[in-house]
Structure 1
């Protein structure tokens, strides 16, 4: 690894161990083996390095989500359940990435570049998840698929935060699937009742 990558890796480690706001430039250099001047040379400032580390972690998390492939069998809800189960199984290995990624949301409020890159990552994830749920290639995803992708992405984000806080109490993929089926069935009955009046 080059010095730039060492700094990024060190910053990501510090974010996980100390948090974004408590990490100092000296913490990063100690974790990376680089010197203070290298931060300015490669990133311009500690803040720019920290933002790059947060974004890199979020991109890794996005890639991890997209890599949880599922076969095309079953209906979209079956595919959702298998997808979420795969995501949750990988959460233990991805904990450090999830912690750093969660901090990206707070930084997005204050750093337009972070917000823009998070938005780009979300847009790609909506499409790839929508494609998986519809059982089509990403280029073939329609508006319905993008809406499905948005819904599942919201569930994934919420599930990840629950898992970080209390893994034992986080609902399983089957729990979410049952809840969604129940919601759909309740909505169908509500539609019939309102149509009958």
Structure 2
């Protein structure tokens, strides 16, 4: 299911943080440079655009009824969540939420949010 796929992705991400630490450090350093360098900012923007496009394809594989523009926005939403989780897990792994904690919180918050509409 789409939800199982999200959880599996988060778990795989959490499990691979040590392996990808050099890439994560380079990303954080590039973010800092992007405020001072138009070239770096443009490169990061291009990387994010490619990532949104690739992720939107995965979203549409799971949720084929979504229009392409909506799939792109859903992809951007999950990229934002993933980037935030990566930073929390790298900076403060002892106090950052685990995948199980995130999943439990999502199970509580999502129905409450959707039911409030």
User: What is the number of residues matched between the two proteins?
Assistant: 114
Q: Which has the higher contact order (CA 8 A, sep 6+)?
A: 2
Shift of 1:109: 0.7
Determine if contact 1:126/1:149 at 8 Å carries over to the other structure: yes
2:10 alignment partner in structure 1: 84
What does residue 105 of structure 2 align with? Answer: 179
Q: What is the distance in 2 between the residues matched to 1:124 and 1:96?
A: 21
What is the match of residue 147 of structure 1? 73
TM-score when scaled to structure 2? 0.83
Among 13, 19, 25, the residue aligned to 1:99: 25
Deviations 1:108-143 (A, max 9, x none): 01100110110111111122223223326xxx9711
| Aligned match for 2:94, one of 158, 168, 171 | 168
Runs of 4+ in 1 over 3 A off after TM superposition: none
5+ residue gaps, structure 1, are 1-73, 192-197
1:78–1:133: structure 2 CA closer, same or farther, 3 Å change rule? farther
- What is residue 134 of structure 1 aligned with on the other side? 60
Structure label with greater radius of gyration = 1
User: Distance between the aligned counterparts of 1:110 and 1:141, measured in 2?
Assistant: 36
Distance 1:181 1:128, change over 3 A: farther
CA distance in 1, matches of 2:20, 2:67: 28
Q: Is the 8 A contact 1:108 1:114 kept in 2?
A: yes
Cα deviation for residue 176 of structure 1 reads: 2.6
Instruction: Classify the secondary structure of the residue corresponding to 1:168.
Output: coil
Instruction: For residue 99 of structure 1, report the CA deviation from its aligned partner.
Output: 1.2
TM-score when scaled to structure 1?
A: 0.52
